[in-house]
Structure 1
Amino acid sequence: MKANSWERVNKILEGFKKFPLFRFLYRISWAPRVYHFFLALAGALIYYFPSRKIKVIGVTGTKGKSTTVELISFFLEKAGYKTAFFSSVHIKIGDEIKNNRFGNSSPGRFFLQYFLRQAVNNSCRYAIVEITSQGAFLFRHRFIAWDGAVFLNIHPEHIEAHGSFEKYLDAKLSFFRYAAESPFGKSCRFFVNKNDKHARDFINAAGGKELVLFSGKEISFKNINLPDGLLGDFNRENVAAAWAVAKSENVSEDILKFLEKFEGVEGRMDFVQKEPFGVVVDYAHTPDSLEAVYQTLSFYKKKPGWLICVLGSCGGGRDRWKRLKMGEIAARYCNFVILTNEDPYDEQPESIIDEIASGCSQIRSPRSETLKIIDRKEAIKKAISLAKRGDVVVCTGKGSEQSIHIAGGKTISWSEKGIIEQILNKN
């Protein structure tokens, strides 16, 4: 099929959604999964099972997927291999790289099969993709011959979507279990972060197949100056995972030195400015990732500099449990906390902010102040106006996302980095 075949099929499927019978059937509890299962099968058939002609590596975990995907591609490219990758930030096929405009890294309607076919057509040796819990739950990893499966970490997330942490965990594990079946004659190699408390679950899901354990505590960066985009222990885990995959593909140890030239991933520990004060954009949107970012930047800032944060939380009933916790973490680490809008959906932004503020108030810290500014641009502007030499301003939650979701299913175009650059240029 031609390069625009997926767009044509997508329009046809959009048309089906308008039929009353389709909408009625889709409301049956089991119907969405059956629908997506057959879409996955149809995609594999339409694109002639492209995964049989390319090495496919899937990366799953709560945090670090995008960075790890791009690091694996980086190492393999430096070793001379042509790669394709699909992350929540970018879509790359060979030399062409574009921003991911889907809003997620596991889009439906068999886009992954289309992506793999394009990678094969462009003579790529490897395709590296993110595997999300929702994507796995809807069978988007099915009918793909997997060569590698990577587990980074798991923390509570998407609890409302899955119903419980156990179901969220099981969705992640389903990817490993399926890859272990090797339905297309390939033998999948499994990579597991041995420091994660759920490592044993993923080791068991691998079903006794070839296993590589990695740890950020054990990888050596001797004589390597890591770029700012890889600051923090959590990024050591990402590098360790990517390097474990690269080594398994016989990439030379000499390639590790090229880490100094890694440009980082947009919206992930992304320094928009370093002097006279730092301004950082990071996607951190869970309590664990937020704390890791604050800890890292607390060491990075120059004493007695301040850590100033711009913080929000997702609306629409998504993971409300984490709002209080994120407020507590912000008040514990930051000298000035500015609470603002993120993605309110159909919730009142003020209500979301108030819930986070309740968490802030539980930490009695004389060095921390809290301010509420609903308009996100104004909140960032205020944070930057407060910053002095040696301080660090960190804006979390949006990362490289290109829109803010508001009531009625509408979106507002957004670029966190672009807004910050605009404000800095006016100062």
Structure 2
Amino acid sequence: METTRPAFAFLKKTMPRPAFKRLAPAYHAALAFFAALRYGFPSRRLVVIGVTGTNGKTTVVHLLHEIFRAAGFGVASASSQRFKVNDAEEPNLMKMTMPGRGWLQRFLGRCRREGCRYAILEVTSEGIAQSRHRFVRFAGAVLTNVRPEHIESHGGFERYRQAKIELFRRLPQDGFAILNREDESAPRFAEATAARVAWYSSSAIDVPGVGYPVRMVATGADRLELEVGGVLLESRLGGRFNAMNALAAAAAGLAFGVSLAVIADALRRFPGVPGRLEFVQRKPFAVVVDYAVTPDALEAVYIALSGGSPKSDLRPEDVRPSSVEGFKSRETRNSKLVCVFGAAGGGRDKWKRPKLGKIAGEFCKAVILTSDDPDDEDPTQIVSEIRSGMTSDQLRTTETILDRREAIREALRAAKPGDTVIITGMGAQPWFVAYGGKKIPWDERAVVREELTKLQ
């Protein structure tokens, strides 16, 4: 791979853009083939399971790693957060969920050398569009959900969905497609695959030949209890969306022969995913960090933390001054959320910015809009587009502070006992891409702890 990549790179740099665009599929497929050849097609000696969808991929990858590890297997996994081989892990510092073909094949080769039986990969639509999945023999694929995302880069929602369907189309007949019965796109995936289909939902898991009734026992902001086939599954994960993630992982485990008892043990011991509905502080007010970057994910997080529904309409007397000069927040019986977020730049999914603003306006008693990887876009313009989705009443309780650390500091100052400060968009990402494209080391949780210490 080291000898072929420079030649391919030279071709890409010297060829006119229109000509390269026509040849891009062949270019990416060739890179994938030579990478697999260089490392001896390692996936042929592994059971590789891909996890794709709009939201929840990372959590399901991490859950599956622990499930197969608890079952006694050697396991490797690659996600947007970390790379893990058995019990040794290292952070993903690439700011790339699905690394390039050479890296991926080398990683699979390492998995095999270190005695792994299973490899769990987080698979993205962008990665599929660039053939990063090619010449990886997938034995199974898990679909979390399909929501609008990456619309501009793919040229529409249908192309985005088709990119994800491509993973399932390549599954072998003896493989497994694990599908979310509650997602309206799931039938399209079932029709496209030759693999055996296992379904999961909030009421049942159905693997070929066996059905397991599901009962949602309890879901809170930091815990969930599910009964599957008469076995209680408990986890420190929170929110209904994580209940669905847990069911996706459980369905995949069952499809590949792991017992419910082992799955229950793995879920009980699972520590959670850093930066995913992670409580940094609980008292006197809670502070939570989450990655949510899509409208569906943001709404799901707000529902989990607020108890279920948007805040009620407010009277003028409900608006009170905050401790932060010029900043007002609303006191309501069902909203205790102080929300900090922005939207990524780089021309990514501009359509969702007003939707994010609308959702925050409906759920949060106070909003601070800030920078979130603005990259080559003016963060002032990004925030303006978010604000366009909010009503004039909601804008009265919305502040703009482009410096992300300062925005977090002001949210913590504004919070009262019993409130929840929820900071979304970065999660546990190790880099912040500032305006102009400069990458800055970043740890949202550490920033929160530092600012909390200053308040004491």
Q: Same fold (TM over 0.5)?
A: yes
Extract unaligned runs of 5+ from structure 1. Answer: 1-5
User: What one-letter code is carried by the residue in structure 2 that aligns with 1:340?
Assistant: T
* CA RMSD, 1 decimal: 2.2
- 1:112 deviates by 1.3
State which of 262, 272, 278 in structure 2 corresponds to 1:264. Answer: 272
Q: Which moved more, 1:188-197 or 1:409-418?
A: 409-418
Q: Which moved more, 1:258-267 or 1:194-203?
A: 258-267
Aligned to 1:192: 179
CA contact (8 A) 1:66 1:88 kept: yes
2:51 aligned with 1:59: yes
Structure 1 segments of 4+ aligned residues over 6 angstroms from their partners: 300-305
State which of 337, 342, 358 in structure 1 corresponds to 2:372. Answer: 342
Within 5 Å, which residues of 2 pair with 1:80-99?
Answer: 80-99=72-91
Within 5 Å, which residues of 2 pair with 1:19-34?
Answer: 19=10, 22-25=13-16, 28-34=20-26
State which of 352, 358, 361 in structure 2 corresponds to 1:331. Answer: 361
- 1:346 deviates by 1.4
TM-score by length of 2: 0.85
User: What one-letter code is carried by the residue in structure 2 that aligns with 1:88?
Assistant: S
Higher relative contact order (CA 8 A, sep 6+): 1
- 1:254 deviates by 1.5
Question: For residues 23 and 395 of structure 1, do their structure 2 counterparts lie closer, same or farther at Cα, with a shift above 3 Å needed?
Answer: farther
Question: For residues 204 and 426 of structure 1, do their structure 2 counterparts lie closer, same or farther at Cα, with a shift above 3 Å needed?
Answer: same
- 1:224 deviates by 4.8
Hey, what's the Cα distance between the residues in 1 that align with 2:59 and 2:93?
17
Q: Could you report, residue by residue, the CA deviation over 1:334-366 in whole angstroms, capped at 9, with x for unpaired residues? A: 00100000011111111111111121236x459
Greater helix content: 1
State which of 26, 42, 46 in structure 2 corresponds to 1:50. Answer: 42
Hey, what's the Cα distance between the residues in 2 that align with 1:22 and 1:355?
35
Aligned to 1:420: 448
User: What one-letter code is carried by the residue in structure 2 that aligns with 1:374?
Assistant: L
Hey, what's the Cα distance between the residues in 2 that align with 1:225 and 1:34?
47
Hey, what's the Cα distance between the residues in 2 that align with 1:72 and 1:295?
25
State which of 255, 259, 283 in structure 2 corresponds to 1:248. Answer: 255
Aligned to 2:307: 299
Aligned to 2:326: none
3-state SS of 1:359 partner = coil
Within 5 Å, which residues of 2 pair with 1:10-409?
Answer: 13=5, 17=9, 19=10, 22-25=13-16, 28-180=20-172, 187-207=174-194, 209-218=195-204, 219-220=214-215, 221-222=226-227, 223-227=232-236, 230-258=237-265, 259-299=267-307, 306-361=336-391, 364=393, 369-409=397-437
Give identity over the alignment, percent.
41
User: What one-letter code is carried by the residue in structure 2 that aligns with 1:299?
Assistant: G
User: What one-letter code is carried by the residue in structure 1 that aligns with 2:270?
Assistant: F
Count of matched residue positions in the alignment of Structure 1 and Structure 2: 408
Greater strand content: 2
Hey, what's the Cα distance between the residues in 2 that align with 1:287 and 1:173?
22
Hey, what's the Cα distance between the residues in 2 that align with 1:283 and 1:94?
25
User: What one-letter code is carried by the residue in structure 1 that aligns with 2:399?
Assistant: L
User: What one-letter code is carried by the residue in structure 2 that aligns with 1:193?
Assistant: N
Hey, what's the Cα distance between the residues in 1 that align with 2:385 and 2:28?
36
CA contact (8 A) 2:50 2:141 kept: yes
Hey, what's the Cα distance between the residues in 2 that align with 1:25 and 1:360?
44
Hey, what's the Cα distance between the residues in 2 that align with 1:174 and 1:86?
20
Question: For residues 398 and 419 of structure 1, do their structure 2 counterparts lie closer, same or farther at Cα, with a shift above 3 Å needed?
Answer: same
CA contact (8 A) 1:44 1:50 kept: yes
- 1:199 deviates by 0.8
CA contact (8 A) 1:360 1:370 kept: no
Aligned to 1:3: none
